Each structure stands twice: as structure tokens, then as C-alpha cells.
Amino acid sequence: MDSWGSSLCFPNLNSSCRRLMLQPRSQTALFYTLLASISLLTVTLNLLVIISISHFRQLHTPTNALLLSLAVSDLVVGLLVMPIEGLRYLETCWLLGRLMCALTPYISYCLLSASLGHMVLISIDRYVAICDPMLYSCRVNLQRVIVLICFCWACSFLYNGLILMHHLSQPNRYRTCHGECVVVISHMSGTVDLFFSFVGPCSVMVVLYTKVFAVAVSQVRVARLQIRSSSVTAAQTAKRLEFKAARTLGVVIAMFLLCFCPYYYPSLTGEDTSTSLSYYALLSWIMLTNSCVNPLIYALFYPWFRKAIRFIFTLRILQLHSQEMKIL
């Protein structure tokens, strides 16, 4: 052990990487507790969404099918990706072997891409439902949405397979010692990923939600004109609706940008995106927390979700024919 308090990840191997012990045991325990708390919160929130939508038949709608699939993706992030990524950075050694080194980044990227794709589909769904309700009722049904969900997952697996092709075939390509798992995405691939996984989806969401917001504001103004007899009450109601629409739009766009924009910093600066970057852990975890935020944004804003939570925690869902309960 040297002056930096380093030890070998695998003491029996001369080619082993060194394990850095930079924090005292109390701080390490604190970090593990924080990691476990974030993972547990992510799993719990998304599990509540899954149980609610799956159990109550009244919630079996096209929009909720998207929420359900999104929650499944985010639940797996909290259940698998967060613990593995946390173990990587807290232990400073890769202890899971060559196969997991190849599969873990691929699974992580697929889940995050699928989550992002679902958010785009949800924005399209809300746009059509609010801005063109006649078209929505005629063309949007549960079967078609399920097909779109499957297509979204298939595209995610295929796309990330292409992005990580070299890593999947040679996971030890950039390894300098035993106990290291380095993923490198070239600047060219990172630039392509920047446009396909960030600029494109972000633009679609901003444009659609802006139009939804404009329609909502116009509907409020129409309602204000129709209620002239109680102008004070109408004005107050209109202001509340405008504020609610603006707040929802701001939360959706701000959290998306906050969680995903930092990850693409290396591509914007002309660098390769590599897990060996000193600040990569921070960028990665900011993006992973979006899986915890998603159920708060897309589910907790719905009154039916709060009602479903009460039914779940009071065990009323165990009652006979509870599936038929009115939840909306």
C-alpha cells in the first residue's frame, strides 16, 4: 500500500489495477446509503406506477400504456443500472468481469434511450389529444400504441448496438489493467448520438409542448369570455390554469434538459465520451436520476395516481373486483 492508500483490485494478479481509498469509511458508508436510497426510491415510484396502471382496468388507455412501458424502463434502471454504476465508482474497480463489462453499458444505454423515446411518444400523444381530439379518438387506440412501444424498444436496442458495436465485440479494448472497464465512444459517434438522442427529441418535445401550451392558453381565454357574469372568478380561474400549464411545461422541458444536457458535454467540446473521464461519473448520475424524476413528472401530476397510491397502501387492491374500481 502506497502513500495514497491504494491497494490492488485483485491482489493475486500482477496486472491488477489499484483500488483508490480516498474517503474514510464513514463517508463510504454515507455514499452507499445515498446510492441505496436513490435506487430504492426509483424502484418504488416506478413500481407504484406499474401496479396502478396494470391493476385498474379504467387506466388501460393508450396514454397510460406509454406511462407503463416508461415506468418499466425506469424501474430496471433503478434496479440494475444504478447499483452497478454506483459499485463501479465507489469501489473504483470493475469487479463483474468481461461479459458484464460488455453488457452493462449496452443495457444502460438501451434503457435510457427507450425512456427518452417514450417521453417523445407521450408528448406526441398529448399534442394530438389536445390539439386534434377528433383525430385522436379515430386513430389512436391501445393496439397501435403497443406497436409503437415495441418499435421504440426495438429501435433502442438496434441503435445502441450500432453505437457500442466496438465495445460489445472488444470490451477490453481500452483496458490498461485488470479490474478496469472503460467504454469509449468516438467523437464522431458521440456527435451522431448528440443529434439523434438529444437535439432531435428535445426539439420535438419543445415544439409540441409549446403548441399544447398555446392551445391551453387559447382555451382559457375562450372560457374567460364565456363567463362575463362572474368576471373576477373567471379571471382567477384563468390565471390558475395558465400558471398550471406553464408550470407543467417548464418542469417537463427543464428536467429533460437538466438531466440529459450535461451528458453530451464531451461531444460539445470535441472530446471522446469515455468512462475514464474524471467527471464522467457526475454526468452519468445526473442522467440516471431522470429515471427517478420521470414518474414524478408524468404520473404524480395525475390525480388518479394519488388515488391509486391510497388504494395500494390501504390494501384495497386486494379486495374482490378491485380492478373495476373507479379511479378517474
Digit-coded pLDDT (tens) for 119-138:
889 888 888 887 887 888 88
DSSP label of 170: -
Digit-coded pLDDT (tens) for 280-298: 777 788 888 888 887 887 6
What is the Rg, in whole angstroms, of the alpha carbon atoms belonging to the chain? 23
What is the spatial distance between Cα 107 and Cα 93, in angstroms, rounded to a whole number?
20
Give per-residue burial for 185-221: e unless 16+ CB within 10 Å, then b: beeebbbbbbeebbeebbebbbebbeebbeebeeebe
Could you give the domains of the chain?
Answer: 24-186+274-324 (1.20.1070.10)
Residues paired with residue 178 on neighbouring β-strands, in sequence order: 16
Q: Is the dihedral of CA 15, 21, 22, 28 positive or negative?
A: positive
Q: Which of 15-19, 66-70, 210-214, 215-219 has the lowest mean pLDDT?
A: 215-219
Please give the backbone phi and psi of residue 202, each rounded to the nearest 5 degrees, phi first: -65, -40
Q: In 3-state terms, what secondary structure has residue 19?
A: strand
Q: How many angstroms separate the most distant Cα atoms in the chain? A: 85
Q: Give the amino acid at 116.
A: L
What is the spatial distance between Cα 173 and Cα 284, in angstroms, rounded to a whole number?
21
Q: How many CB atoms lie within 10 A of CB 156?
A: 22
- CA nearest to 317, candidates 102, 110, 139, 55: 55
pLDDT band at 272 (very low <50, low <70, confident <90, very high): low
- pTM, whole model, 2 decimals? 0.83
- 207 Rama sector, left if φ>0, alpha if ψ -120 to 50, beta otherwise: alpha
Digit-coded pLDDT (tens) for 214-243: 877 776 666 666 655 555 555 555 555 555
pLDDT at position 1 over 50: no
Question: Which of 45-54, 164-173, 190-199 shows the highest mean pLDDT?
Answer: 45-54
Beta strands 273-274 and 184-185 are antiparallel
Q: How many CB atoms lie within 10 A of CB 313?
A: 10
Burial class of 57 by CB neighbour count within 10 A (0 to 12, 13 to 18, 19+): exposed
Q: Tell me, what's the pLDDT at 225?
A: 66
Question: Which of 6-15, 89-98, 259-268 shows the highest mean pLDDT?
Answer: 89-98
- 242 Rama sector, left if φ>0, alpha if ψ -120 to 50, beta otherwise: alpha
Calculate the average pLDDT of the chain.
Answer: 80
